């Protein structure tokens, strides 16, 4: 923990790590969740976990959802993010309990909104999502899941059933001390606008997307 000079020149400790700030009921179209708000003092990001029911400690149905303004709020068909968020929220309600961790600071796999839009413009010109990031001099995936693991531990969760097609999420959680008892596929039917993007995620980012084999007719 580092120190800053506060008022009157006195040294005040700088907070680090993840701090739970607030619990609030959040009725939604899916069901009544509890929104648990956190501050990540290391990055300065505000984070939230949506908790449904009595989640317990082991094998908790969980989604780590990376912030995606274009998909989550605007219904973009460039990706499947909005549909995945919708499916995850429905899944935990159907299960009777579960957690959706909404990870801010993850826009565009961690490169930010404007950089993501620049990458999308390059993809419209023919580059794939990996090539576009690299052409901008940016990492292919800059996301950090440390905060998600800390939030889950604060909620008392020791192991999860992780709703994800991305093996790197599983690896990251386990590296940060949260066991993954099962990886649960979260497969969204592709459309003409996102099939190339999804194929790139499967072929170049190792996402498990077996359902794409059935839609070879999409260009």
d(CA 162, CA 169): 9
CB 155 within 8 A of CB 54: no
Strand order in the sheet with 159-163: 18-27, 32-40, 45-52, 98-103, 60-66, 159-163, 179-184
Q: Which listed residue (141, 144, 158, 202) is catalytic?
A: 141
CB 28 within 8 A of CB 89: yes
Nearest alpha carbon to residue 174 among 187, 160, 184, 154: 160
Known catalytic membership, residue 143: yes
d(CA 185, CA 16): 34
Known catalytic membership, residue 63: no
Q: Which listed residue (118, 143, 161, 170) is catalytic?
A: 143
DSSP 31: -
- The residue to which tokens 């709703």 are assigned: 163
- The residue to which tokens 């068909």 are assigned: 77
* Positions marked catalytic: 141, 143
């Amino acid at each position: 923990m580092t120190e800053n000079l506060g008022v009157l020149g006195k040294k005040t400790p700088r907070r680090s790590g993840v701090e739970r700030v607030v619990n609030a009921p959040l009725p939604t179209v899916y069901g009544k969740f509890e929104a648990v708000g956190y501050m990540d003092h290391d990055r300065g990001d505000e984070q939230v976990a949506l908790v449904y029911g009595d989640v317990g400690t082991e094998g908790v149905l969980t989604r780590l959802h990376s912030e995606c303004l274009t998909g989550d709020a605007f219904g973009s068909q460039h990706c499947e993010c909005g549909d995945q968020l919708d499916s995850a929220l429905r899944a935990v309600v159907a299960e009777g309990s579960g957690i959706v961790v909404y990870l801010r600071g993850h826009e565009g796999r961690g490169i930010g909104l404007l950089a993501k839009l620049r990458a999308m413009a390059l993809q419209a010109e023919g580059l794939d999502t990996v090539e576009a990031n690299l052409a901008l001099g940016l990492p292919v995936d800059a996301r950090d899941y440390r905060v998600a693991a800390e939030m889950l531990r604060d909620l008392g969760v020791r192991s999860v059933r992780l709703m994800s097609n991305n093996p790197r999420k599983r690896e990251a959680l386990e590296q940060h001390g949260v066991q993954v008892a099962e990886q649960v596929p979260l497969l969204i039917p592709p459309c003409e606008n996102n099939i190339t993007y999804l194929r790139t995620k499967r072929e170049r980012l190792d996402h498990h997307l077996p359902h794409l084999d059935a839609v070879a007719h999409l260009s």
